[in-house]
Amino acid sequence: MGADGVSVMVPFDPRGNHQPTWEGHEAILRRGSASSATETTIRALTALCFDDLLTGVWDEALRLAGTGVQLCESHGYQELRWPLWVVTAVIAAARGEDEEAQRLAADLEDWARRRGSAAVRLYSLYVQCLVAQGRDDFEQAFRCVSDLAAPSTFAANLPLALAASVDIVECAVRTDRADVARRYVAMLPGTDSAGLSPRARLLTGCAAAIADPGGIGRFEQVLALPGMTDLPYDRARVQLAYAERLRRTGSLKNARPHLTDALATFSHLEARPWHSRVSRELRGTGNLRIGPGATHTQELTPQERVVAELAASGLTNKQIATRIYLSHRTVGTHLQRVFQKLRIPSRAALRDALGPS
């Protein structure tokens, strides 16, 4: 039991490269039952859950987490439930199942409050950060995990600080906190640091690339690191971040393959908020079309189409700018051109002018 009441270390970034199988899980359960080593079985299930989470075997991770929680509750190991809640909550948030993710975040918060665990509370906030990102509320997402940007908190919670590095840096950049992003990257170990797992190299490298406005080549270096294919969700996140940078620099053709790959990954994982975000980026490259709409919609550029669609959904210029990495002034300029091309007076007429999506 740690000083803050944490009774089990969360393997949020395991060092091993093994690929667990369901047959292996069953063998562990049989051995655990035969020897009455229930605690050992729960801890083994927890480690396997996190492996499945990181390697994209999400449905299996959920099944194992459910089994682990049942064992905890039926054998009185209540202290060991929270890492299994983390697995379930992270997947729920990534899939847009906000109600389930928030319920588990509340369970984590309650667990942390009852035991005085600052570390577990951070995991609850991390889940809430993921939920907010799924809603494109980057301000709220940043506030949830901003405590990790403090050097003392960062050092005391290194596994989570590394796991959340892309989330924190991206949210900081999107909310005009570039200085916070740079300071956070400065605390991260370099991608060539001894002992770092492939996932830690991927995430810290991506965070550094996002924080560096001129570091577009860093994305390619990160994607070329060994072991990336074993981390589908994280790799797709990097591809999306890279494609967003390529799109902003006008390299639409180069962005499309990364977006197409990321779209396939998020579709396979049923990560609906991320699938929607990639789809929006693809529309921005001209690879997808909005609805048929009026004849004049064919005159819109890909960027104007995306801005028009978001404005029609009711977002303000500032909200649109945060979502697609533009200044609010640029968004305003795009909208004025949209109004002229569609021959409408204001955004109130956008939905009808664009037609069904």
**What CATH number is associated with residue 314?**
1.10.10.10
Which of 73, 96, 111 is a domain's end point?
111
32 and 103 share a domain? Answer: yes
Question: Which pair of tokens denotes residue 3?
Answer: 């000083």
Q: Is residue 94 part of a domain?
A: yes
- Which phi and psi (to 5°) does residue 246 adopt? -60, -40
Quick: pLDDT tens for 65-83. Answer: 999 999 999 999 999 999 9
Closest CA to 122 of 168, 166, 160: 160
Element (H, E) at 35: helix 22-35
Which of 77, 111, 145 is a domain's end point?
111
| Cα–Cα distance for residue pair 264/269, rounded to 1 Å | 9
338 and 303 share a domain? Answer: yes
Q: Is residue 290 part of a domain?
A: no
Residue in the structure block whose two tokens are 């301000």: 139
162, 348 Cβ separation under 8 angstroms: no
195 and 156 share a domain? Answer: yes
Q: Is residue 237 part of a domain?
A: no
Interhelix angle for 272-284 vs 317-324, to 10°? 100
Reduce the DSSP state of residue 244 to 3 states and report it: helix
Q: Is residue 17 part of a domain?
A: yes
Closest CA to 248 of 330, 185, 354, 142: 330
pLDDT at 98 over 70: yes
Closest CA to 235 of 194, 268, 276, 280: 268
257 and 223 share a domain? Answer: no
Higher pLDDT, 214 or 188: 188
260 and 330 share a domain? Answer: no
Which of 95, 111, 127 is a domain's end point?
111
Please count the structural domains in the chain: 4
Q: Which of 136-150, 246-260, 298-312 has the highest mean pLDDT?
A: 136-150
Q: Is residue 316 part of a domain?
A: yes
279, 288 Cβ separation under 8 angstroms: yes
**pLDDT-based confidence at residue 6 (cuts at 50, 70, 90):** very low
Produce one character per residue of 106-127: b if its CB has 16 or more CB atoms within 10 Å, e if not: ebbbebbeebebebbbbbbbbb
222 and 140 share a domain? Answer: yes
Quick: pLDDT tens for 255-279. Answer: 999 999 999 999 999 999 999 999 9
Residues whose CB falls within 8 Å of the CB of residue 84, separated by 6 or more in sequence, listed in order: 45, 46, 49, 65, 68, 69, 72
94 and 167 share a domain? Answer: no
190 and 263 share a domain? Answer: no
The pTM is what?
0.78
280 and 300 share a domain? Answer: no
Residue numbers of the domain that contains 17 = 1-111
The CB-side HSE value for 248 (13 A sphere, CA atoms) comes to 17
Residue in the structure block whose two tokens are 């359960």: 29
Q: Is residue 105 part of a domain?
A: yes
Average pLDDT over residues 42-56: 93
- Which phi and psi (to 5°) does residue 150 adopt? -80, 130
The one-letter amino acid code at 228 reads: M
